[in-house]
Amino acid sequence: MMDPREVLGIPANATEEQIRAAYLAKVKEHSPERSPEEFEKVRDAYEILRDPRRRARHLVLSANPTAPFVSLLTETKERRFAGPDSWLEVLKAK
């Protein structure tokens, strides 16, 4: 699977406005009539990146696919249930 940020051509720390602008530019470039496969990729990438929870889950799983499950077993209860941002802190610490 291709990284949604690569599909839209945005940096890892892109803001929501940058994500939306990149999506609109790519939609104009790859219309459904001209290239339906590319349009599907762009649409799917935007669907992942526009939702903060899906974006956080993608970032965690793409960094290390086994990290969330290992962390569930080794982290303290407080960090385990702190939300999606706690996973990012776990990955940054490694």
* pLDDT tens string 21-65: 999 999 998 888 888 899 999 999 999 899 888 888 877 777 655
The CA distance from 90 to 19, in Å, is 25
Domains, the chain, ordered by start: 1-50 (1.10.287.110)
Q: Please indicate, yes or no, whether the overall pTM of this predicted structure exceeds 0.95.
A: no
The CA distance from 49 to 9, in Å, is 12
Range with the poorest average pLDDT among 17-21, 53-57, 74-78: 74-78
Is residue 68 pLDDT above 70, yes or no? no
Which residue type does 11 have?
A: P
Is residue 9 pLDDT above 60, yes or no? yes
